[in-house]
Amino acid sequence: MVHAKKLKITALITGGAGFIGSHLSDFLVGKGYRVICMDNLLTGKIENIKHLLKDKNFEFVKHNVTKYINVKGRVDYILHFASPASPADYLKYPIQTLKVGSLGTHKALGLAKEKRAVFLLASTSEVYGDPLVNPQPETYWGNVNCIGPRGVYDEAKRFAEAITMAYQRYHAMDTRIVRIFNTYGERMREDDGRAIPNFIGQALKDIPITIYGDGSQTRSFCYVSDMVGGIYNLLISSVSEPVNIGNPDEMLLLDLARLIIRLSRSKSKIVFKELPVDDPKVRRPAISKAKKLLRWSPKVGLKEGLSKTIEYFAGGKSGDTIPISLHKISRK
């Protein structure tokens, strides 16, 4: 049984031991919130929150949120982040991904209804699928293959958005939906399967960097501290419709690999492999809504964020900064 302390503003974060969830836990504890971190550790790691375990305003509960969630006492905010989030994870755990997006969201919404809490859903840019428009605004309905291998994640999140809006309309609940675009930073797993941890892990070992396809796919990358700031601004706002949070600076994956090689002083070469099924060709958020309604925009540049992330993956042995001048990346 979880006992939420009286009078303290209490936030429950499902998936709170994951990459973004653990940074949110840090952020909210730092702001004086009482944080209940709920995670079954399928893809999250206790190491991500180990430093918080002795904090009086933090509590970890190991629980699968597809089961009934019982929290005693006051809960003011519920942030639903529980889900495998990388292709490697949701392809490994397809059924669990669908269940946490459907059953898990239903259980979390039920608790929010009971507690009259603000409910924030962590959705994803994957709801846009392989987009036919670029950048992707919140008004775009997407281009998703519902029966493809990525559909387990895409459709789980699309369902989660639909049920969140249904609870908002039918039960007059106070809800938020954040569509999270590519995020990176400390606490990503090296075996995460996404481009940045893959490239950094390979670069630090001086082994070939693997690019799927010809590297002409584009992505935009948001450093985790910027992401957390955007999520918080949405949480405390009154904006109920979905909002994109991400960095709109777009680049080729080939250029990203070259940049990581340079920043890490790696001897790695680049190799190319077949593009996975339904891999998006472009990914870039339109963030005019976040700028206008949340007064938010990203602040951390890619060079700065990657340098911090490389240092983390290197075990903190490379110093506070990596003194390499970054020239403008070509877009050949």
Each domain of the chain, given as residue ranges in start order, spans 2-183+222-245, 186-220+249-282+300-313
Of the listed 77, 93, 128, 153, which one is catalytic?
153
Mark the ranges of the chain whose per-residue pLDDT is less than 50. Answer: 1-5, 317-332
> What confidence tens digit (pLDDT) does each residue in 57-106 have?
999 999 999 999 999 999 999 999 999 999 999 999 999 999 999 999 99
Q: Do domains 2-183+222-245 and 186-220+249-282+300-313 have the same CATH topology?
A: no
- Domain 186-220+249-282+300-313: which topology? UDP-galactose 4-epimerase; domain 1 (3.90.25)
pLDDT of res. 278: 85
Is the CB of residue 286 less than 8 Å from the CB of residue 136?
A: yes
Q: Which of 70, 92, 74 is nearest to 83 (CA)?
A: 92
CATH of domain 2-183+222-245: 3.40.50.720
Own/partner pairs, 259-262, CB within 8 angstroms, 24+ separation: 259/302, 259/303, 259/306, 259/326, 259/329, 260/196, 260/199, 260/200, 260/203, 260/209, 260/306, 260/310, 261/203, 261/209, 262/324, 262/326
Q: pTM of this prediction?
A: 0.92
Q: What is the pLDDT of residue 7?
A: 62
What is the structure's pLDDT at 279?
Answer: 87
- Nearest residue to 176 via CA among 31, 5, 11, 1: 11
**223 counts as catalytic:** no
How far, in Å, CA of 34 to CA of 67, rounded? 23
Q: Which residues contact 15 (CB under 8 A, 6 or more apart)?
A: 21, 38, 39, 44, 80, 81, 82, 83, 122
Residue 249 pLDDT: 97
CA quadruple 94, 95, 100, 106: dihedral sign: positive
**What is the pLDDT at residue 316?**
61
